[in-house]
Amino acid sequence: MVDVSNEELLAQLGVEVKQEKKAKLTPREERIIAGFEEIQRFYDEHDREPMHGEDRDIFERMYATRLDQIRKSEECLELVKGLDNQGLLENSYNVGEPPAEYNSDEELLADLGIEASKEDDITQLKHVRSASEKRKAAEEIGNRKRCEDFEKFKPLFESVQEDIKSGARKTLPFSKDGSIEKGNYFILSGQKAYVAEVGEAFTGSDGRNEYRLRVIFDNGVESNQLMHSLQKRLWEDETGRRISEKESSAGPLFDGVADENDSESGTIYILRSKSDLPVISENRDVIHKIGVTGGDVKKRIANARVDPTYLMADVEVVATYELYNINRKKLENLIHHIFEPVRLDIEINDRFGHPVKPREWFLVPIFAIDNAVEKIKDGSISSYVYDSNKANLVHRDESAEE
C-alpha cells in the first residue's frame, strides 16, 4: 500500500488545506516577550510581583522597572497581554510599595554605578541575561539590602563627617594600588561607604584571590559585593574617594600630588649596605636603611664608607619616593616608629675607633616599606602595625585578634 500523507488525503477528499502562517517576531518584540517572561518567573517563584526599593535585590528592581514600562506602553501591552495568566498587567502597585524609582533599566544601573547598554530604553527593557550571566553579575555586584543593625554604624558616619569638616580626615583619590581593608571608609556615587567585614580569601573566576565584603552605606543599606568589584567602581567613579584615617599626633605629612604651586620638599630613600660584616652579608636583601632628606640623595651617601651611619661601607640606593608639602622630621619619625620592632641592633666603630650605634637600619623587606609608603600617602597608615612574623603590615584589628 502506498503511503499517503495527511495533506494528500485531504486534497483527494476535496478539503483545501491552508498553511497557517506564523507571525514572525522582530528581535525587538522577542526581547520584550522574554523580558516579560522573566517577570512572570519572578512572580511564580515569590508569589508576588517585583517591587521597587533600595533594600530589594538588583534584579527585582530591574523587573519592577520593566513592568512599569510595559504597563505604560500600548505596544508592549498588545504584545504580551495574551501571555499574562497571572494578571500582572491588570494589577496596580502593591500596597505600601515605594513608587517607581526609575524610567528604565539603564537609569537604574547608572545610579548603581553599573555600566549599561547604550541602546534605547525599550531595547534595554528587553535585554535578557542568561542564567550564568546573572550569577556572574550577582557575584560581582553583590546584593544591596537594608542594614538591620544600621544604628550601630550611624554614629560612625556622623563622626567621620565631623572629622572631614574639621580637617581631621581628608578625602583622597582612590590610588592605583587599590588597597581595601576592614575599617576603611570611601565615597562612592556620592555616598559614604564603610568596610565592616572582609571575608576569607578564595579564588575568583579570573584566578586571583578574591574577598567577599560587607559594605555599609550611609543611607542605611548594605552590600556583600566582591573586593575587586568595589575597586573597579571606585576607579571608574570620577568622584570616588578614599576617606583618610583620622590624623594622628604625627600631624599632616604629604598629599602625594604635586601641582604647579607645589615645591618638592624631600625624598624618602631606601639603602642597602655593601658591608662585609657577617650580619649584613647574611641578610643583605632584607636589611635596609630608611631615611628622609631634603637634599640630593647621591651627595648624602657620597662618603658612606667613612661614615658609621652607613656602616662604614658603600651603599646601594634601592628606592626613592618624592615628597610634597611634608614635615620631613615627623615623616621620618613615623616610618621609624612603624618598623621599630625590627630595628637592627648593631654597634660599629667609627674611623677613630669610637663605638657608634646606627639607628636607621631595619630588618625589613622592600615590599613592606613600599606598602607603608602607600598607606602613608592614602592616609590609612594609623590603622596598621608591622608584623615581624608575616614580614608585612597588618591591620590593627587583625593584630589584636591574634
Which of 172-176, 311-315, 349-353 has maximum average pLDDT? 311-315
DSSP assigned state of 342: G
At residue 263, the pLDDT reads: 45
**Statement: residue 133 has pLDDT above 90:** no
Dump pLDDT digits (tens) for 374-395: 888 877 888 889 998 888 898 8
Question: What gap in Å lies between CA 77 and CA 89, rounded to an integer?
Answer: 8
Per-residue model confidence (pLDDT) at position 276: 92
Q: What does the alpha-carbon distance between residue 270 and residue 277 come to, in Å, rounded to a whole number?
A: 19
Residue 396: phi, psi to the nearest 5? Answer: -60, -35
User: Taking 50 as the threshold, does the pLDDT of residue 55 lie above it?
Assistant: yes
Residue 363: predicted pLDDT: 93
Per-residue burial over 185-194, b = 16 or more CB atoms within 10 Å of its CB, e = otherwise = bbbbeeebbb
The confidence score (pLDDT) of residue 44 equals: 77
pLDDT of residue 60: 80
Alpha helices in 198-251 (DSSP H): 227-236
Percent of the chain scoring above 90 in pLDDT: 17
Confidence class of residue 286 from pLDDT cuts 50, 70 and 90?
A: very high
Neighbours of 321 (CB within 10 A): 18
Per-residue confidence (pLDDT) for residue 5, from 0 to 100: 59
Q: Say how many C-beta atoms besides its own lie within 10 A of residue 298's C-beta.
A: 9
Is residue 352 helix, strand or coil? coil
Q: List pLDDT tens digits, range 73-125.
A: 888 888 888 888 888 887 644 434 444 555 555 555 554 444 444 444 433 44
Q: What is the mean pLDDT of the chain?
A: 77
Query: Residue 138: what pLDDT?
Result: 47
pLDDT value, residue 262: 43
Q: Residue 26 pLDDT more than 50?
A: yes
Annotated domain spans of the chain: 27-128, 145-243, 264-401
Give the position of cell 578564595.
Answer: 202
Question: Cell numbers of 308, please?
Answer: 658609621
C-alpha cell at 268: 624618602
Provide CB contacts within 8 A for 262, sequence distance 6+.
324, 325
